[in-house]
Chain A
Amino acid sequence: MTNNFKAEHYVAPIDETPLLATDSLKSDQAPLSLWADAWHKLRRRPLFIISSLMILLLVAIAVFPGLFTQVAPNDNCDLQFSDGAPQPGHPFGYTFQGCDVYSRVIHGTQASLAVGVLSVIFVVIIGVTLGALAGFFGGWLDAFIARLGDIFFALPLVLGALVITQLPFFKDNKSVWTVVMVIVLLAWPQMARITRGAVIEVRNADFVTAARSLGVSRMGSLVRHVLPNALAPIIVLATMELGVFIVTEATLSFLGIGLPGSVMSWGNDIAAAQSSLRTNPAVLLYPATALSITVLSFIMLGDALRDALDPKSRQR
């Protein structure tokens, strides 16, 4: 080194930062897929733990109502107990018709949950299929599906449901299935839109081009590469919509255009409790609370899932 240099040439001792092989593999961690990674994050989130425990409980109630109440909901209705106060064995009191409120809330879970789950299943099938096709192929197919969706999107839910349920077929066959059909008809565009957006985001990724140049067909690359990578927002929306659909069913039943009176559901009970709101508000309170807790659980679960599946929060 000549003296012209104003600065010294400093070299760190080599043992301070031992030289590693270029680009060596970290091999101490267990392999993590997206789902394993999400599970890893989820199982420590209180939001997720509470909401999934609530949902498990609700499912158990819906499938085995007999485990939670020995009282049959309709058989022992006795007008002498009309609007009666809680008694041992009947913790929530009696309805105007003298039926046990607790038993009705328990048995109403089944219909509410069934409508929610069935609606979500069909909305996912229809919405994801149409949305994925629209997003992946674009062009006139996209335009057609988007306009079709807009038609249903423009119908306010209650108004649309009112019109549809007045059609002769729906009027004559009131059941869980007709409610599901109404909800699916009005709700699939939302799912299709989300899917379309997610698919468009993924379809131009290099790995899709790579798959195509390996010889994978267009449909093959849609099913095997694009859709699995677009799944996260679909799952989140489906979870949240489950809660929303349960409310929708209650709304429709409350308006008298949902489930027939013979089917026990929270919506029907809320509608029936209307008349005794002043004399016995508790009758309204219990099915309404059950409804709120259920919806809240699903929306909380959706929130937790959204955080866990967010690709931006994944390491690199």
Chain B
Amino acid sequence: MTTPDVRISEAGGPATRPLLEIKDLAISFATGGGEVQAVRNAHLTIMPGETVAIVGESGSGKSTTALAAIGLLPGNGRVSAGQILLDGEDISHATEKRMIELRGNTIGMVPQDPMSNLNPVWKIGYQVRETLRANGRPSGPDDVAEVLAEAGLPDAHRRAKQYPHEFSGGMRQRALIAIGLSCQPRLLIADEPTSALDVTVQRQILDHLEAMTSELGTSVLLITHDLGLAAERADKVVVMYRGNVVEAGPSLDLLRNPRHPYTQRLVASAPSLASRRIQVAKEMGVESDELLAPTDAAVQEPEKAEEVLRIENLSKVFKLRSGIGRSTDFTAVDNVSFSVKRGTTTAIVGESGSGKSTVAQMVLNLLTPTSGKIVFDGVDTSTLNNKEIFAFRRRVQPIFQDPYGSLDPMYNIFRTIEEPLRTHKVGNRASREKKVRELLDQVALPQSTMQRYPNELSGGQRQRVAIARALALDPEVIICDEAVSALDVLVQAQVLNLLADLQSKLGLTYLFITHDLAVVRQIADHVCVMEKGRLVETGSTDDVFDSPQQDYTKALLNAIPGAQLMLPPEVARA
């Protein structure tokens, strides 16, 4: 069709040949409903030693393209057109034998999910040795330890004798990187290598990966949904959308002058790049005007706002079983106090294991605190009897992280949203149906969605249904437990906008639990930073972001991918 995306210019010298060149690649899958095209006209060039990132939302074909390059397409997928040239050799239809030769020592791979990609019944050292042996390299205990040590695992000899469950997520990912790089491949495919990890761990791992690959001269094909991360880590960025490459180019150039409307959209909504309070942005007239209706919440703010939720010296201790009849105490939440004002958003930020979700569960009255008080609207929630708890549930509603898990797959959307109304015996059937229609309008879903089932909706749509269900009883406080973490960037921006919008329309109070500081910047007025169960820093969002007091907060802020990239404001705001 058109010229390949990325070519060597004359200045680059004609001598070097691309290590991997993908030309007009098309991949199709045989499904029950016939042949489905997953990728069309994909172009991609990787020079030796270069890092190239493929960016796109889920379903854009980015992982499929990478899997084709290593010959690991699922059984029903095939390359239907085009070429994959590895150092000049077309491997798009290579034999299995040839691919086995290439895998490991020419093309390495770091898979996405560190939790499921190590075999739980074998020691880490064995799994490294397996790779070394398969590629005919020395595989003694010292070689294995060396490989692990290079990937940044301390005490590698001892670690090699441990099983995957003894490793944390970050350490597992290091072990997978060690396996991927153990045979010093010329090309490393890293498929979302850090998307399951905390930001600070993500930063460490990517730094290390970068150092290792530049030392070995390995080319890297990085697959990610995060444009900020791609721009920060890669020399070139390839943007894929609906199976096509829509834009490709040097990363900074592409970020500063996105030309394809999809890339422009991505740049505009990447939270790490364009962070500012959505509400504030609206007041500046940046968002479209119809969203800008003058609101009660805006009028109330801030000095008149009353305190709706106060948390005093909250602690939660879990008893962990350690042998028969004995137990050790694990303090998940340690003496946490903060308060939330009506009509504002308070974010609790922390890494996994910081106790932030435990706080949310206790505020929702689903867990009983070990000590401390939760005062909602002047009443200590631990003193409520069953009837009062039932009434309390009407006023405080949750939205959960996993949009695939939080909706009952057996309920259609109407029944899902109607359930709170039915449970609280609100209105008759006709009035409830009317309310459900209104709620669907509020979350911008067509009313025809009512008859559908959750499995027919995308993650973002499910999350909007969850929001509609949470709004059904006209609650005052909504607790969002990682409510947007599982969503693609564009969808995430859409849901955050919706939440901000609903807040200004309905005067809602949000308690927003998240690990993603970039999201906090967009939605929160106040931030509480938690580390290992303790509250280490609180303050207004601007204060915490502009002048963080604690090292931990600084580390979190620094770890936002792309935070250091300077963008002209008009792009960031577009």
Contact = CB atoms under 8 A, between A and B. Distances in A.
Given A6-B11, A31-B453, A12 B261 contact: no
A19 interface: yes
Interface string A1-27: 101011111111110110110110111
Interface in B439-459: 445-446, 448-449, 451-453, 455-458
A206 B402 contact: yes
Size class of the contact patch on chain B: 35 or more
Contacts of A1: 253, 257
A10 B249 contact: yes
B494 A22 contact: yes
Contacts of A63: none
A14 to B, nearest CB: 6
A225 B401 CA distance: 19
Contacts of A207: 405-409
Contacts of A23: 458, 460-461, 490-491, 494
B404 interface: yes
A82 interface: no
B552 to A, nearest CB: 29
Contact of A211 (B43, B248, B408): B408
A212 B364 CA distance: 10
B246 A11 contact: yes
B249 A209 contact: no
B554 interface: no
Nearest to A27: B448
Contact of B423 (A22, A25, A214): A214
B247 A206 contact: no
B332 interface: no
A7 B402 contact: no
A190 to B, nearest CB: 24
Contacts of A31: 412, 451-453, 456
B366 A211 contact: no
A6 B419 contact: no
A57 interface: no
Contacts of A13: 2
A228 interface: yes
Contact of B466 (A12, A19, A210): A210
A8 B406 CA distance: 45
Nearest to B241: A17
Contacts of A206: 400-402, 405-406
Contacts of B394: 215
Given A10-B248, A25-B445, A216-B419, A210 B452 contact: no
Contacts of B203: none
B470 to A, nearest CB: 9
Contacts of B201: none
A12 B404 contact: no
Given A16-B244, A229-B410, A32 B453 contact: yes
B250 interface: yes
Interface in A244-277: none
B40 to A, nearest CB: 9
Contacts of B2: 10, 12-13
Interface string A179-197: 0000000000000000000
Most buried by A among B404, B423, B473, B491: B423
B400 A209 contact: yes
A19 B262 contact: yes
A315 B455 contact: yes
A205 interface: yes
A316 interface: yes
Contacts of A141: none
A74 B50 CA distance: 89
Contacts of A8: 5-7, 9, 249
Given A10-B248, A31-B453, A316-B455, A228 B410 contact: yes
Q: Which among B242, B249, B406, B456 has the greatest number of chain A C-beta atoms within 10 A?
A: B456
Interface string B1-43: 1111111110110000000000000000000000000000101
B246 A12 contact: yes
A211 B261 CA distance: 41
B451 to A, nearest CB: 5
B242 A17 contact: yes
A215 B8 CA distance: 63
B410 A22 contact: no
B397 interface: yes
A216 B423 contact: yes
Contacts of B257: 1, 9
B386 to A, nearest CB: 9
Interface string A273-313: 00000000000000000000000000000000000000100
A213 interface: yes
A34 interface: yes
Given A22-B265, A32-B453, A3 B7 contact: no
B505 interface: no
A212 B366 contact: yes
Q: Which of A3, A7, A26, A209 has the most CB of B within 10 A?
A: A7
A246 B43 CA distance: 63
A29 interface: yes
Interface in B373-404: 390, 393-394, 396-398, 400-402, 404
A314 interface: yes
Contacts of A10: 2-6, 43, 245, 247-249
Nearest to B479: A213
A33 interface: yes
Contacts of B420: 214-215
B276 interface: no
A155 to B, nearest CB: 30
B469 interface: yes
B236 interface: yes
A11 B461 contact: no
A35 B515 CA distance: 38
B424 interface: yes
A234 to B, nearest CB: 14
Contacts of B393: 213-215
B529 interface: no
A3 B408 contact: no
A225 B455 contact: no
B259 interface: yes
A211 B5 contact: no
A6 B43 contact: no
A9 B249 contact: yes
User: In the complex, which of the residues B4, B43, B405 has the most CB atoms of chain A within 10 Å of its own CB atom?
Assistant: B405
B254 interface: yes
A311 B449 CA distance: 22
A32 B397 CA distance: 28
Nearest to B43: A10
Contacts of A34: 409-410, 453
Contacts of A225: 408, 410
27 contacts: A3-B11, A5-B9, A6-B11, A7-B45, A9-B254, A10-B2, A10-B249, A16-B244, A17-B242, A17-B243, A20-B242, A23-B461, A23-B490, A23-B491, A25-B445, A26-B456, A29-B456, A32-B453, A32-B456, A33-B412, A206-B405, A210-B406, A210-B407, A211-B408, A214-B393, A216-B419, A225-B410
For the complex of A and B, the 9 pairs showing the least CB-CB separation, nearest first, are: A9-B249, A10-B5, A206-B406, A206-B405, A215-B393, A7-B6, A207-B408, A23-B460, A214-B420
Interface of A: 1, 3, 5-14, 16-17, 19-20, 22-23, 25-27, 29, 31-34, 205-207, 209-216, 220, 225, 228-229, 311, 314-316
Given A12-B247, A23-B460, 7 more contacts: A12-B244, A17-B262, A31-B412, A206-B406, A210-B469, A211-B419, A212-B366
